[in-house]
Amino acid sequence: MSDRAKFLWIAAFFLVFYFIPAESGRVTAALAESVAMMHEYAREHVLLCLVPAFFIAGAVSVFVSSQSVMRYLGARARRWIAYSVASVSGGVLAVCSCTVLPLFAGIYSRGAGLGPASTFLYSGPAINVLAIVLTARVLGFELGVARAVGAVVIGLLIGVIMGAIFGREESARQEGFASAPEPEAGHPWRTVSHIGGMALFLVFANWASPREPGGLWGGIYEMKWLLSGLALLLVLFASRAWFSRDERKEWIASARDYALLVAPLLFAGVLAAGFLLGRPGHEALIPTRYVAMLVGGNSFGANFFASLSGAFMYFATLTEVPILDGLIGAGMGNGPALALLLAGPALSLPSMLVINGILGPRRTLAYISLVVLFSAAAGMLFGQLYS
């Protein structure tokens, strides 16, 4: 960051706190919500979501070669393979918009093309099987199916368009990875087992309680800590038996670097989101009744506003369903409900700040715009079909 940019940030920070009406009850409530959201995020998402994601990203950077990433996700990989791998691997993890960021940074820094990496970035939070099933149960079968189809299609479209818009810049970036020396032949199954164990720990440790007990999801929930413990034992065994002390130190250092890259912006974004929008069911600076008033019907404005507001809100995994349940009860239309479901889990104000640090302003603006516009368009189409 240049000295001029630093000065502008300092000046903006000063002006905000100079003119803020601190005596206002709404401002006081918004500040309390900001602290409460950060407290909730720290207790529920950092240790079991964010920290494992940092270690996975560090392992990808240290143990996975650029050539391996490029073979499946690079610009020269077959498109159907690259986008299939990106969408499936992102969807299987079932992470929130913030937890996916270190993983995105890891594969992007190892040579993944911008298109497949963007698909992965969207699909991780959006294509969540458990969330789609819960949507169908609580909000209706049609909305659940529309969410599943819309998330897959939008993820692929975003990746293809991002790759096309920045194709020339991507070609220059990919040449640097193509010129890297080919690593010595090793034991790829060891790396797959090591990273897979961390991914399984991430999935099972954050497995949410189903709305109805019993069944497959309920059975997994009852065994979540046993399954998480087995996955953790696999990681500990693999790191101790298959990697040298220097490799383990490099892995930990890489995870630390990703934490230093992502965490400061992420925490600042959580505080800002709490101040502006608050937690579900709690008022902050922007009253929630305004949101409910603006998302009724199926006009373009309602769908666009639902998509845009969802993009700035922070949704922990699965929390978007009860929030939508309340908004639909307050008069939200079917189209805007789908628009928020498609944009909300995939983006948030905290994730925007981090994506900007990884991709830069132009690519970040393009990505955000595509998510918002495609989500609004999908909402309008769904609203017309099921008005």
The model's pLDDT over 279-291, given as tens digits with 9 standing for 90+, comes to 766 777 877 677 6
In the predicted structure, residue 292 carries a pLDDT above the cut 80: no
Alpha helix stretches (DSSP H) within the chain:
3-19, 25-41, 51-63, 66-73, 79-93, 100-109, 114-126, 129-139, 141-165, 167-178, 188-205, 215-222, 224-242, 245-276, 288-294, 300-312, 320-329, 334-343, 349-359, 361-385
CA dist 117 and 313 (Å) reads 23
pLDDT tens digits, residue range 38-94? 888 788 777 877 788 788 878 877 776 656 666 667 666 677 777 887 777 666 665
242 token code pair: 């298959």
pLDDT tens digits, residue range 186-203? 567 787 888 888 888 877
Residue 250 lies in a domain: yes
Which amino acid is it at 225?
A: W
132 token code pair: 């789609």
Q: Which of 80-89, 174-183, 365-374 has the highest mean pLDDT?
A: 365-374
The predicted structure's pLDDT at residue 96: 66
Residue 16 lies in a domain: no
Q: Please give the C-alpha separations between residue 210 and each of 7, 135, 382, in angstroms, as whole numbers.
A: 49, 12, 27
Residue 8 lies in a domain: no
The predicted structure's pLDDT at residue 176: 63
CA dihedral (238, 243, 245, 249) positive or negative: negative
Residue 15 lies in a domain: no
- Higher-pLDDT residue of 320 and 59 is 59
User: CA dihedral in degrees (40, 43, 47, 48; nearest 10)?
Assistant: -70
Residue 1 lies in a domain: no
In the predicted structure, residue 183 carries a pLDDT above the cut 60: no
Residue 326 lies in a domain: yes
Give, in degrees to the nearest 5, the angle at Cα 320 between 118 and 314: 60
Residue 2 lies in a domain: no
Alpha helix stretches (DSSP H) within 300-348:
300-312, 320-329, 334-343
Q: Please give the C-alpha separations between residue 261 and each of 97, 101, 120, 171, 254, in angstroms, as whole numbers.
A: 16, 10, 19, 25, 11
Which amino acid is it at 56?
A: I
The predicted structure's pLDDT at residue 145: 87
CA dist 34 and 20 (Å) reads 15
pTM above 0.85, yes or no: no
In the predicted structure, residue 248 carries a pLDDT above the cut 90: no
290 token code pair: 């305004």
Residue tagged 């008022």 (tokens): 283
In contact, 106 and 55? CB cutoff 8 Å = no
Q: Among 10-14, 196-200, 207-211, where is mean pLDDT lowest?
A: 207-211
Domain span at residue 289 reads 24-385
The predicted structure's pLDDT at residue 236: 92
Q: Please give the C-alpha separations between residue 144 and each of 105, 132, 260, 321, in angstroms, as whole numbers.
A: 30, 6, 37, 10
CA dist 29 and 278 (Å) reads 9
The predicted structure's pLDDT at residue 214: 72
The predicted structure's pLDDT at residue 319: 65
- C-alpha 299: how far from its chain's center? 28
Burial of 62 (0-12, 13-18, 19+ CB in 10 A): buried
Number of domains in the chain: 1
Collapsing DSSP states into helix, strand and coil, what is residue 96? Answer: coil
CA dist 218 and 224 (Å) reads 10
Q: Could you give phi then psi for residue 315, rounded to 5 degrees? A: -115, 120
- The pLDDT mean for the chain works out to 80
Q: How confident is the model at residue 245 (pLDDT cuts 50, 70, 90)?
A: confident
